[in-house]
Amino acid sequence: MSAPKTTPFHQAHKDAGGKLVDFAGWELPVNYGSQIQEHEAVRTDAGMFDVSHMLISDITGEQAKAWLQKLLANDVAKLSFVGKALYTAMLNDNGGVIDDLIVYRANEAETAYRIVSNAATREKDMAQFTKIGAAFGIEIKPRHDLCMLAVQGPKAIDKLLQLKPEWAEQVRALKPFQGVDLGDNWFVARTGYTGEDGVEVMLPENHANEFFKQLQSVGVQPCGLGARDTLRMEAGMNLYGHDMDDDTSPLQAGMGWTVDLKDESRDFVGKAPLVALKNQGVDVKQVGLLLETRGVLREGMEVVTPHGTGVITSGTFSPSLKQSIAIARVPVATENSAQVDIRGTLTDVRVLKLPFVRNGQKQFD
């Protein structure tokens, strides 16, 4: 087996005391000493995550817009200005999710876009990009010269702008799901995977370690994969390969809002089986589960309801709530309670609408 790849921040992780593990073929920090402290920094202050294992692809071509309208379940016609971002699924021919990704509009002419997609799926993503792209004459340029750092939390933008005051006007003008090109291959977007405010910064790889250390110097906490996972679960955000995959429809994974069927003339990959499933009625739904007694909910545990069984797709102990939470797929008729098989014992759980936590606040009574 080949050695895991490293990101341009690798030395910074080591210098900060990161405990490095193999994640989807990449050596990345699981934590820097305390996952709980890292989680709480993002909920109350500012933390940063290396997300350079994700694939940045720049797309150009006269038919780039048409290609994306064929490739993606959401419609890039919604990208009404340069820098606007769109979250979407990319489906296979059966309507299952190949990947979830973000696409940015990069020019006025709608002939240039940027896609950010997942690390674990980069090979099959690129194969699908190329396969569907062949008929549209587009050029796909993977940006291996760039890296990416998520700076997240209620004080993230303030701390970033302590370092980069010259960015203040442009960055403060960003609304969620908007990005801005700041020149010299620096790009800042108001996006994230934590349920907090913040940005994701794409930058030239030769600036990686310096930028990381500068952010540390203004009090941004380095955060690892462990905190990233508890934060995204509290925020009710899917993780590819767990909460959805090639055999899961977006309609079964809480992603119906990312499917755009308004333009009936637009035919995208996976549309026919998706519409057929919608018409026949989806028999499962995605929910949150809260365990109010001791124990931890884990992926793969069976959920028992009066309407049949479901399954936990992600589970953890929530540092913010001090209780165990899970994302689960259950029969569509499930109401506000269920049971989970925890080591052979059926244990009562509350069934909640996601998310559990957003902007530092509990989202349920």
Instruction: Find the farthest-apart pair of alpha carbons in the chain and give their distance in angstroms, rounded.
Output: 59
b (16+ CB within 10 A) / e for 331-362: beebeeebbbebeeeebebbbbebbbbeeeee
Tokens of 169: 């006007």
Q: Where are the alpha helices (DSSP H) in the chain?
A: 10-15, 35-44, 64-71, 122-133, 156-163, 168-172, 208-217, 225-234, 271-280
Q: Which residues contact 359 (CB under 8 A, 6 or more apart)?
A: 154, 195, 196, 197
- Tell me which residue of 338, 341, 347, 321 sits closest to 287, measured CA to CA: 338
d(CA 330, CA 348): 15
Asked whether 310 and 285 are in contact (CB, 8 A), the reply is: no
Establish whether 264 is an annotated binding residue.
no
169-174: Cβ within 8 A, 24+ apart: 171/199, 174/83, 174/199
Taking phi over 0 as left and psi of -120 to 50 as alpha, with beta for the rest, 215 belongs to alpha
Q: Which residues are annotated as a binding site?
A: 200
Q: Which residues are annotated as a binding site for substrate?
A: 200
